[in-house]
Structure 1
Amino acid sequence: MAAPCLWHRPQHYAGFTGKTPKALDRVPCTVQRRSRAAVKGSRSPGWQVRPLRPRSPLRRSPGLQTWRHTLPSAACLPNPHTGNRGFDLLLCAAASPRRGKRLRKGIAALALATALLLPLAWPIAAVAQAKVDAWPTRGWERSSPEAQGMSSQELVNLVVFGISNGMDSLLVARHGRIVAEAYYAPFASGVRHRVNSVTKSVIGSLVAMALKDGLLKSLDQPVLDFFPEHHVAHLDERKKALTLQSLLDMRSGLDWSEPLQGAPPQSFLDMQRSPDWVRFILDRPMAARPGERFDYNSGNPHILSAILSKVTGRSALAYAKDRLFKPLGIEDVAWRHDPQGVSTGGAGLYLQPRDMARLGYLWLRGGAWDGQQLLPPQWVDKTRHATIGMGLGPDLHYANLFWSVSAKGVYMAVGYHRQLIVVMPALDLVAVFTGASRYSNALGVPSVPAYAFDAVLGPLMAAVKSDTALPEDPEASAALAGAVERVALEARTQESGSSPLASAISGKVYRLKPNDLRVSSFSLTFEGEGAAYDYAADGQRFGGPIGLDGLYRVGGRRPYGSSAAKGMWLDERTFQLEAQTLGNDDAAIAAATFDGKTVTLRIGALGGPKLELSGEAEE
C-alpha cells in the first residue's frame, strides 16, 4: 500500500534529476510499507520512500520552488526537521478523489508554510515542546558542557574574562543542568549576593502572580486607587491616569532623575534619605503623560511593592517566600525594606547565584515549574518580546521590569555592576553573573564590572554548538576545571610589616565624632599573627578578622553578610584596612592614623568619594 508525498530530501532529488538541489526543493514520492519478510532481520524501517518518475510532464511552480504532480486522495509532507529519524512525523491531508484540484492547491500552500515558517519557529518550538526532565527544586544537576551540546573551551574564555571584569560569580545552565560554575575569591559558593536592580524583575514577577491569583483585577488599574489615604501632591489628570502597566514599563511620566549612564541617580538617593519612600514617589510632579516615554525610575517598582503589600496583606518578601521562592526551592533570601516596612522594589534583594538561576529557569520555561503554572504565559511572552525602546541603542528594549536584547532573542534581569540573569529561550540556556568592584582581583589589580552585554552574550552563544550531545573533550574539560580553580584563589598582595604602636592601640576603643556614616566607635586588635577590627553603627556592633599576610580573612559580621578583610601598616602610625561584605559590592579602604589619644580615619570606596572621621580613645 503506497501513500503519495512530497520529498524534502534534496540529496535524493539530485539522484534522479541530475540537477543541483536547492534548500526548498521537494520531489514527488510515495511512502510504501514494506513486507514483514523484507523487514525481518533488517535494520531498515518498515517503510520506504520512493521518488515518483512522472507519467506526465511535471510543471515547475516558480513561486513555490517545488514540483507538483497530480496526486490521489491523500498526500503527506514529511517533516524536514526530524533529523536522522527519517520521516517519522508526517503532515497529512486527506481528500476524496473528486477534490484532486483543491488538494493540489492545499498541498502547495502547506508546502510553502512548511518551508517558510518551520525553520523560523523550530528553535523556540523545540524548547517549548521538549520534555523537561530536570527541575532544580531540590538541587541542580551538573553536566559536562559537551553532554549538553556546548564547548568547554569557549566557556574557559568566559571564565577568564571574568577575572579582569569584576565578576564575583558565573553560572551557565543548559537543558536544566549546570555546565559551568565559577566563584571569584574572596566570594564563594553558598553566599548570598546583592542583586541590585534584578530586584525589579522579581517585583514584576510577583505582580504577575498577584494578577494570576486574582488579587489584582488588571494591569490597567489606576495606581492612585490603591492609596486613598494619601493626599497626593501635584495631582492632575496625568497622575490620575497612572496605571500598573506604566509602572512595569518604566513609562510612569513622573519627574525623576536616575539616568542609566553618566550622572548619579539623584532621585533614587533622595528617596532613600526620605522618611516615607512611597509618599516621596507619589508626590513627585508629572513630567509627561503615562505611557508617553521611557524613563528609568526605581520609584516605579517600589510603588508596585507597596501595592503588593496592600493586596496580599503582607510584604513582598513574605508573599514571594510563599508563592515564588518556596515552589522553586529558594530558601536563603534577604530583602531590605523602607522605613514603613515595604520591601524595597528597585533594589535590595539578596540571593545566591544558584537561586538566581532558578528564577531564570522559571522564566525560561514560560512561568511553569514542575507541573505548576506560576506566572501567566502571556505575561512572560510580552516580557520576551519587549518593544519599548530604552534610548540605549536599537537592540535594547524594556517590558515588565525586564531588559530585552531583541537582535539576539535574549531577555534579562539587570542590576547595577552587572548582576545579570540571562535567559536565552532559543538555546534553552540560562546564565547568571554577579559582580563587584575590587581593589585586587585574581591578577592582583583593581577591576570594576562595567563590560558591555555583548561581551558575555556573544561567548555564550558561541559556546552552544549543538542541540544534542557532543563528543567529550577531556583536554578542554581539564582547562575549564583549571580556570574555575584558578579564579577561586586570591592573588596575594603586600604582606603587612610591623609597628611598635600595635601593642599600644590594640583593643582600645576610639569614640568618633558624629558623621554621615553614623559610625560611633572603632577599634583594632592585634594578637600574635592575627588581627581584627570592630566598629559600632546605629547601635549595633560589626567587624571581623584581618589578614596580615596579603590574603583576606573571612568571618565576623557586617550589616548584610560576612566580612572579608586584610590590612597592613603603611608606616609606624598608619594602618590601612581593606574590607568588604561578601556579595555586597561595598569594598572600601580605611586608613587609620593614630596620634596619642586621637585617631583619624580616611575612608573611601574604589573610584568613589573619601570621608574623614576622627575621634579619641576611651579612658
Structure 2
Amino acid sequence: MDMQVKRRFVLSVALSLCALLAVADRGSAGAQDPDQSAWPTREWPTSTPEQQGMDSAALAKLVAFGESHGFDSLLVERHGRIVLDAYYAPYTADIPHQIHSCTKAIISTLVGMTYRDGQLDRLDHPVLDFFAGGNIANVDDRKKAVTVQNLLDMTSGFDWDQGFEGGKEQTLVDQYRSSNWTQFTLDRPMAHAPGEVFNYIDGNPNLISAIITKLTGKLAEDYAREKLFGPLGITNWHWDRDPQGLTMGAWSLTLLPRDMAKIGYLYLHHGEWEGKQLLPAGWADVLDHATVSMHASFDPDLHYSNFFWVFPKEHVFMANGWHGQNIAVFPDLDIVAVVTAHKYVAQSALIEGVDAAVKSGAALPQNRNATETLADAIKDVAVETSTAVGPTSEMASIISGKAYKFPDGDLGLGLGLGLRLQSLTLFLTDPRPHMEVQLYSDHPTIFSGSYDTPIGLDGLYRKGTPAISGYDPGHVPAAKGAWLNGHTFVIDAQDLGYGGQRKYILSFSGKKLNLHLILEHGQDVSVDGEQDD
C-alpha cells in the first residue's frame, strides 16, 4: 500500500513563489465562518463542483476509480455543500452502512464531550481509577499509569496482537471468546510502558465506552443520542453492544453516508455546530496534536490522534474502518470526503483524487461538458451491469429443494468461535430462486439461525430483506448465481451496508455436495455435505 504522496522540490525560487501563491488561492475560501454556513442538520445543501472551485471532470475520474475498487458510495462536500454524491449498485443511498473502525472516532468524540462538560476531569486521568474495587489481573506500576489519553492514542502498552502489521490477531480472537470484554482488556499484561509504543488495540476504545458509561450513567449510544446524534440531526443508526451490554467502542456503528459526512463537518468546524460548541476548544483540530507515530511499514509518515489516522504531509486526517470506510477531513481545502466500500480502499488514492479536483477557493466558470461527464458517471455506477450467465445445468432441477446436511461444517475460519454450517438448500426452479442456510454457534455473541438469500440467475443481484445476525445487523443480503459447468454452481453474495463479499462454489456429485467458501479478504474454507433423505 502506497500512502505517501511523492513530491519534488526542484523549482527555482520564482516558481516556488508562484506555487505558494496558487496554494493560497486554492485555500482562500477556507473553512467558512460557521455563522455563514448552511448547517446540514435537516438536509445537506447541494452545489455543482465548479461553484465550489472544483473540477467536475476530475471528480468523474474519482467516481470511475471507485467503480473498479469496490466502492459502495462516494460523497464529497465543500464549503458546506455536497458536490458529489454517488452510490454504486447494488448498494443504494437508503441503506445504512457499517462503518467498522470509524466507530472509534465517534467514541472519542463522545469522551471529548464528557471532558467539555467536566464529567471527565482530565485526559491524563488513570484508567484503573474508573474500575476501582474490581479484581484486575497483572496490575503493576505500568498498568497503574495508563491514562485516558493513552487509550485514545493507542499507546496503552497492553500486550495485544491484532495484526496491524501482520500476525495472527490472536488477542482479538481471545477477546471474542470472552464473556466480558472490559475485564478481558483490563486483565491484559503490559508489554510496554504507557505512551511508549503505538499498537492498534480494539480493547482501548471498548474501555473508553465503558468509561463514558461510568461517567454519565448512560450507555455510550444513549449519550450519543442526546449529545451528538440529536444536535447533528442523525436519526438513522444502529450500534451493537458487547456481551456485557455496553456499547461497542471499537466498531459496529452503522450510519448513512450523508450522516457520516456530518461527523466530518463537525470536525471541519472545530467542534462547533449551529453556533454551539459541542467539543472542547482545540479537540477537533486533530492535525495540531497528532504527535503519535504509527510506525506503519506501509507509510512511515502516518500519525495518530484520538482514534483518527493523520497524514501530516497531505494535511488530512480521517476516521478509517475495515474494508474501506473513511471519513476524510481536509481542513485547508474546507472539504469532507466520505467513502463506504466492500474492499480495501487506498487512502492515498482518495486523498489524491480529491486534491486533484480542487482548482480554486472561489467559483470556477461553469463547464457544461464536465458537468455532464460527472452526471453520467454517477448515473452509470448507480445502474448494475449484468455479468455473463451460461446455460442452466440439468442439475438445477435435480438438486432444487434438497437439503444438504454438513456433519463437519466448521466455518470458524480459525477464529475458534464455533460457527458451523448445519444445512444448505437451494431453490433454483422456484419463481423466487433463493438459498436457505442454517447456521449454529456455541458462542453467545455469534448468531445462530436461518438465512434466506434470494439469488439472481440473470447476472444481476437480487436483494433480500434486512437481516439481523449477531454483530452484523441491518445489512441487506444480495446474491447472484450461475452454473460454471454441469455440476458446479457459483454464487456471488454481498451484505449490502456491511461491506462483506463472498463466493460460494458448490460442486455436486450424486447426493454429495462440496461447498468452497471464499471470503473477500482471501480466507477460505471447504466443507462436505450430503442430501438429507
Give TM-score scaled by structure 2 length. 0.86
Aligned twin of 2:424: 522
Aligned partner of 2:361 among 454, 461, 467: 467
Cα distance in 2 for partners of 1:384, 1:405 equals 12
- Determine whether 1:602 maps to 2:516: yes
Cα distance in 2 for partners of 1:250, 1:528 equals 52
Aligned partner of 1:588 among 492, 502, 507: 502
Contact 1:555–1:564 under 8 Å retained in 2:
yes
User: What amino acid maps onto 1:327 in structure 2?
Assistant: P
- Determine whether 1:494 maps to 2:388: yes
Contact 1:496–1:567 under 8 Å retained in 2:
no
Aligned twin of 1:532: 434
Aligned twin of 1:419: 325
Counterpart secondary structure, 2:507:
strand
Gap change, CA 1:179 and 1:121, over 3 Å in 2: closer
Gap change, CA 1:557 and 1:614, over 3 Å in 2: farther
Aligned partner of 1:170 among 59, 74, 77: 74
Cα distance in 1 for partners of 2:423, 2:118 equals 51
Aligned twin of 1:62: none
Cα distance in 1 for partners of 2:243, 2:420 equals 17
Deviations 1:542-584 (A, max 9, x none): 2221111111111234333111100112333332221121022
Give the 5 Å matches for 1:231-310.
231-310=135-214
Deviations 1:131-171 (A, max 9, x none): 43311111111110011111111111111111222222110
Gap change, CA 1:301 and 1:523, over 3 Å in 2: same
Aligned twin of 2:226: 322
- Determine whether 1:550 maps to 2:459: yes
Give the 5 Å matches for 1:45-60.
none
Structure 2: state its 5+ residue gaps.
1-13, 15-19, 413-418, 440-446
Cα distance in 1 for partners of 2:454, 2:39 equals 39
Gap change, CA 1:384 and 1:416, over 3 Å in 2: farther
Deviations 1:257-309 (A, max 9, x none): 23433334332232123222112211111111111222221111111111112
Cα distance in 2 for partners of 1:275, 1:264 equals 21
- C-alpha deviation, 1:492, in angstroms: 2.2
User: What amino acid maps onto 2:465 in structure 1?
Assistant: G
| Identical positions, percent | 45
Counterpart secondary structure, 2:43:
coil
Deviations 1:496-539 (A, max 9, x none): 53233323332333333252333332211123564111112344
Aligned partner of 2:294 among 384, 390, 397: 390
Counterpart secondary structure, 2:465:
strand
Segment drifting more, 490-499 vs 349-358 = 490-499
Contact 1:597–1:616 under 8 Å retained in 2:
yes
- C-alpha deviation, 1:588, in angstroms: 1.1
Counterpart secondary structure, 1:412:
strand
Cα distance in 1 for partners of 2:26, 2:465 equals 53
- C-alpha deviation, 1:467, in angstroms: 2.1
Gap change, CA 1:294 and 1:539, over 3 Å in 2: closer
Gap change, CA 1:218 and 1:122, over 3 Å in 2: farther
Contact 1:172–1:178 under 8 Å retained in 2:
yes
Segment drifting more, 197-206 vs 413-422 = 413-422
- Determine whether 1:576 maps to 2:480: no
Contact 1:385–1:406 under 8 Å retained in 2:
no
- C-alpha deviation, 1:123, in angstroms: 5.1
User: What amino acid maps onto 1:589 in structure 2?
Assistant: K
Cα distance in 2 for partners of 1:552, 1:241 equals 53
Contact 2:267–2:285 under 8 Å retained in 1:
no
Cα distance in 1 for partners of 2:378, 2:168 equals 35
Give TM-score scaled by structure 1 length. 0.75
Aligned twin of 2:399: 505
Cα distance in 1 for partners of 2:526, 2:386 equals 28
Cα distance in 2 for partners of 1:121, 1:234 equals 56
Structure 1: state its 5+ residue gaps.
1-21, 23-115, 438-448
Contact 2:162–2:201 under 8 Å retained in 1:
yes
Give the aligned CA root-mean-square deviation in angstroms.
2.5
Counterpart secondary structure, 1:217:
coil
Higher relative contact order (CA 8 A, sep 6+): 2
Contact 2:26–2:360 under 8 Å retained in 1:
no
Counterpart secondary structure, 2:371:
helix
Gap change, CA 1:493 and 1:378, over 3 Å in 2: same
- Determine whether 1:345 maps to 2:262: no
Cα distance in 1 for partners of 2:437, 2:430 equals 21
Cα distance in 2 for partners of 1:462, 1:245 equals 35
Aligned twin of 1:567: 481
Aligned twin of 1:70: none
Cα distance in 2 for partners of 1:557, 1:423 equals 31
